Amino acid sequence: MVSQFGFVLLFMIAGIFLVLLVLGIARILRPSRPNPEKNAIYESGEETEGTAHVSFNLRFYIVALIFILFDVELVLLFPWASVFGDKALFDDTKGVWAIYAGIEMFIFVFVLALGLVYAWKKGHLDWIKPSQEETNFKSPVPKELYKDINEKYA
Amino acid sequence: MYPIIVFSVSGLLMLFLGLSVNKKSLLPYNLLFMLVGLASNFLDWNAPGLYFNGMLEISNPIILVQWVLIFAAILVSGISSRQFDDTHAYPAEYYAIMQFALVGALIMVSFQNLLMLFVGLEILSVGLYVLTGSDKRNLRGNEAAIKYFLMGSFATGIFLFGVAMFYGATGSFDISSGNSVANNLLEGKMFFWLGMVFIFIGLLFKISAAPFHFWTADVYQGAPTVFSAFMATIVKTAVIFALFRLAAYSFNLEYENWSKFLVIIIGLSMVIGNVTAVFQTNFKRVLAFSSISQAGFMLLSLIGLGAQSYGNLGFYSLSYALATISAFGVFLVISSNTIVEGRPSENINVFDGLFSRNPDLAIILLISMLSLAGIPLTSGFWSKFFVLNDAAAKGYFWILILGVLMSAVSLYYYFNPIRASFKKTDLGKIEISSLSKYTLYVCAALTILFGIAPNILRSLF
Amino acid sequence: MFESSIDRIPDVFMKVPLVNFVLLATMLFVIGIVGVLIRKNAIIIFMSIELMLNAVNMLLIAFSSYKSDPNGQIFVFFIMAVAAAEVAVGLAIIVMIFRNIKTIDISILNKLRG
């Protein structure tokens, strides 16, 4: 008889074995005719450009920060949920328990929601669009021509 | 208990008031909320007991300490008037975070369960990380914020490891369960000792006692001055009372073991704090090192741990808060009027000729410096006297001699600003808002009052 | 075989001596401390602090299972929630510094001197 940790080991071995098996079968069956198009990195049809080690726009971090706060605070609802459905407590108090615990949870979520409202009101959720700069370049083509074409093929 | 609820709600109100109300009228709202909290604290008077399923303890001495904390917060708000007028300041958020941090401090002095201590400590600390970095464009503020944040969360990690060990030894987070462990088997005892050591180290980090003090000067210097004052008074008071509760309820049977080490930490704090302060030219750094040595003196009451120690510590906290806030307040007014190289000057020479410019400020500075140094007729003398007396009663005479010796050293650097203020100068009078003026008057008057009659406060505890 | 339900979990834990959990948690904790002390990159220091907190979480859960006392696990929930708030503030401070000096190497930050 294997112990419970033995099952974990068995699952790991079986997982590795299955992956190797599937990849091995594919390798035996498929024809191998590489070309540069096929070897290119798949990026949803876009041509890849530059390295992957670039800084992302800082605004992603602000949104991520707000997300992580509200995401993880909900972990405090787990202990609440484990006692909320307690039948003995419910019967003992003739249902008052459910109202009491429910209201407490709503207060908790309400305070979190207030935080979200505040962040929204302060505009931290808005994606600031970069302002377009006017260039000094004088084009011989008048602007109206571009406008006409844009409207024609709009 | 009531002020915790009041400040939790009023902090949220403050945030949303900031969206609709003019910037300048936020300070009166803040003071109003704080006064409501102060008043609500007396609803608990003479109703001692455990609240919230044994999470918080309320008793009259604890209410008095909470009163000290709220009062210090009111004084800090008082000296903050006109400081947040420029366009990049968000006073609503600062005041809201101050109120939330105050909630943490109030929890920390009345906890009965280590869970509450942890939550209170974190509410207080996380708020202060934000306040330290609140001046976003100032590189010094940024540096102070990251240093404070990294050191603070490091200390929290150490503290939590201690809590886990404490739990492993006693099977409970209740602070009074520590006493039952003495007859456990050796393994439990080892966990208990480890827990005790780590909890002590984590909290000594927060109070900036000597081997764990290296972040203090940088953080006090880089943080906006109002928040340095907040940190120096409220954080220190809250953490020392948390330590006192742990020492008195959880670790009192191990007194013989930890007191020997704590007394060394106290000696180190006094020596390092006072001797390093002598060489500083930046006034905020001077106050930071002075706060390290004052932390040493406060810890003496843990060594004392007698019937009177709680009251002595409360008295020490209040007199230290009054003196420090008035020192920071006077400095704040003068420094923001002395711009050198585009920034407010923080050098001690900003006090040059203060007596001929603003005699009232010079006298307040004089009183606060005398009180910090522990000269008779100020409350600082009595507070030092009481805690040293307490420690001497337990037989630690050498720390008494060291304490007196180090007070003599501290005279040198506390007299630097006073000496500067009597220099001759042709600079004119400084305009000061009436709110901060009266706040400083109150601080100085109370310092003298408690210096003449210390027992009107001490007998309350 | 698979029907062993949630209340059997403490039995499984009991097969591993408590001291193993304590040693593993202590090792993780020490790795965290060393990371805080020797690394220069603010994010890595930050990760080391999180490692310390998670070592504590593991220790609390192990003790909680061995003592069949749920308090320890509630404490872990609180540590997780508070650590998230701390992470948010810490990352905000790091972003603020990055905006000003375009790096998060903390050895560059040495403006504050006596």
Question: Model confidence over B109-125: pLDDT tens digits?
Answer: 999 999 999 999 999 99
A53 touches chain B (CB under 8 A): no
pLDDT in tens, B63-92: 999 999 999 999 999 998 888 888 788 888
Q: Which of A66, A68, A109, A128 to mutate to test the interface with C (most CBs of C within 10 A)?
A: A68
Whether residue B165 is predicted with pLDDT greater than 70 in this model: the reply is yes
With a pLDDT cut of 90, the percent of chain B lying above it is: 50
Q: How confident is the model at residue B184 (pLDDT cuts 50, 70, 90)?
A: low
Q: Kindly report which listed range (A102-116, A140-154, B311-325, B391-405) carries the lowest average pLDDT score.
A: A140-154
Choosing among C26, C40, C58, C82, which should be mutated to test the B contact, i.e. which has the most B CBs within 10 A?
C82
Question: What token pair was written down for C87?
Answer: 């992470």
Chain B positions contacting chain C at CB under 8 Å are 115, 118-119, 122, 126, 129-130, 133, 136-137, 139-140, 142-147, 149-150, 153-154, 156-158, 160-161, 163-165, 167-168, 171-173, 217-218, 221-222, 276, 279-282, 285
Question: How far is Cα B218 from Cα B53, in angstroms, rounded to an integer?
Answer: 41
Say if A99 falls within a structural domain.
yes
Give percent of chain C above pLDDT 70. 82
Q: Is A63 contained in some domain?
A: yes
The pLDDT-based confidence of C1 (bands split at 50, 70, 90) is very low
Count of domains forming chain A:
1
Residue B384 host element (H or E): helix B379-393
Domains of chain C, earliest start first: 9-102 (1.10.287.3510)
Q: What is the pLDDT of residues B4-19, one digit of tens each?
A: 999 999 999 999 998 8
Contacts for A154 with CB less than 8 Å, ≥ 6 apart = none
State the Cα angle at B37 between B35 and B38, rounded to 5°.
60
Q: Which residues of B touch C114 (CB under 8 A)?
A: 217, 276, 279-282, 285
Phi, psi for A80 (deg, rounded to 5):
-60, -45
A77-86, A87-96, B33-42 — most confident range: B33-42
Full domain range(s) for residue A66: 58-126
- pLDDT score of B249 more than 70: yes
Predicted confidence at residue A99, as pLDDT, reads 87
In a domain, A9, yes or no: no
Q: What is the pLDDT of residue C3?
A: 39
Mean pLDDT estimate for chain B = 89
Tell me the count of A-B CB pairs closer than 8 A.
8
Which residues 15-54 on chain C approach chain B with CB closer than 8 angstroms?
22, 25, 29, 32-33, 36, 42, 45-46, 49, 52-53
Give counts: helices (H), strands (E), chain A: 7, 0
Angstrom distance (rounded) from CA B114 to CA B243: 12
Structure tokens at B352: 């040059």
pLDDT attached to residue B426: 78
Among the partner residues B150, B156, B276, nearest to C45 by beta-carbon distance: B150
* Contact (CB<8Å) C77/A78: yes
Rg (CA), chain C: 19
Which has the higher per-residue pLDDT, A42 or B239? B239
* Residue B36 pLDDT level (bands cut at 50, 70, 90): very high
What pLDDT does residue B64 have? 92
Q: What confidence tier does B448 reach under pLDDT thresholds 50, 70, 90?
A: very high
Chain B contact for C79, CB < 8 A?
yes
Contacts of B139 in chain C (CB under 8 A): 100-101, 109, 111
Mean pLDDT of B243-253: 88
Q: Give B164's pLDDT tier (boundaries 50, 70, 90).
A: very high
B342 CB-contact burial (10 Å; exposed 0-12 / middle 13-18 / buried 19+): exposed
pLDDT tens for A57-74 read 777 887 888 888 788 888
Residues 6+ apart with CB under 8 A from A151: none
- Give the residue, A126 or B240, on which the prediction is more confident: B240
Element (H, E) at B50: strand B49-51
- 3-class secondary structure, C57: helix
Q: How many whole angstroms from its chain centre is CA B152?
A: 15
Chain B nearest-CA residue for A113 = B12
Angle, CA of B66, B82 and B284, to the nearest 5°: 65
pLDDT at position B183 over 60: no
Reduce the DSSP state of residue B32 to 3 states and report it. helix
Least confident of A1-5, B98-102, B269-273, B309-313: A1-5
pLDDT for C61-105, tens place per residue?
Answer: 998 888 888 889 999 999 999 998 898 899 889 888 888 887 777
Highest mean pLDDT among A123-137, C11-25, C56-70: C56-70
Is the pLDDT reported for residue B188 higher than 50? yes
Q: What does each C-alpha distance from B251 to A11, A62, B158, B195, B369 come to in angstroms? A: 48, 44, 18, 10, 36
B429: Cβ–Cβ under 8 A, 6 or more apart, which residues? Answer: B357, B358
Which ipTM was obtained for this model? 0.90
Confidence of residue B313 (pLDDT cuts 50, 70, 90): very high
Structure tokens at B3: 């002020």
C interface mutation test: which of A72, A74, A108 has the most C CBs within 10 A? A72
> Quick check: pTM over 0.90?
no
Among A48-52, B133-137, B226-230, the least confident range: A48-52
Q: How confident is the model at residue B227 (pLDDT cuts 50, 70, 90)?
A: very high
Q: Which residue has the higher pLDDT, C26 or B353?
A: C26
Confidence of residue A129 (pLDDT cuts 50, 70, 90): low
Given a cut of 60, is residue C4 above it in pLDDT? no
Q: Which of B159, B66, B77 lies closest to B108, judged by CA? A: B66
**Token pair 């810490």: residue:** C90
Residue B269: phi, psi to the nearest 5?
A: -60, -45
Task: Give the pair of three-digit tokens for residue B380.
Answer: 């600082």
Cα separation of C46 and C55, whole Å?
14
Instruction: Nearest chain B residue to C92 by CA: give it.
Output: B130
Inter-residue long-range contacts of B333-340, CB under 8 Å, 24+ positions, other chains counted: B333/B361, B333/B430, B333/B432, B333/B436, B334/B361, B334/B430, B335/B225, B335/B283, B336/B83, B337/B430, B337/B431
Say if CB B152 and CB B206 are below 8 A apart.
yes
Q: If you measure CA to CA, which chain A residue comes closest to B14? A: A118
Interface residue ranges in chain B relative to chain A, Cβ cutoff 8 Å: 12, 15-16, 19
Buried/exposed B350-384: b ≥16 CB within 10 Å, e otherwise: bbbbbbbbbeebbbbbbbbbbbbbbbeebbbbbbb
Coarse DSSP helix, strand, coil percentages of chain B, rounded to the nearest 5 percent: 80, 5, 20
Does residue C2 register a pLDDT over 60? no
Q: Is it the case that residue B239 has pLDDT exceeding 70?
A: yes
As a whole-number percent, the residues of chain A with pLDDT over 90 amount to: 16
**Could you tell me what percent of chain B has a pLDDT over 70?**
98
Six token digits for residue B14: 């403050």
Q: Is the pLDDT of residue A47 over 70?
A: yes
User: Which chains would you list as touching C if contact means 3+ CB atom pairs under 8 Å?
Assistant: A, B
Average pLDDT, chain A: 83
Across the interface, do B16 and A122 touch by the CB < 8 Å criterion? no
What are the tokens at A102? 């429910």
Mean pLDDT lowest among A116-125, B40-49, B171-180, C38-47: B171-180
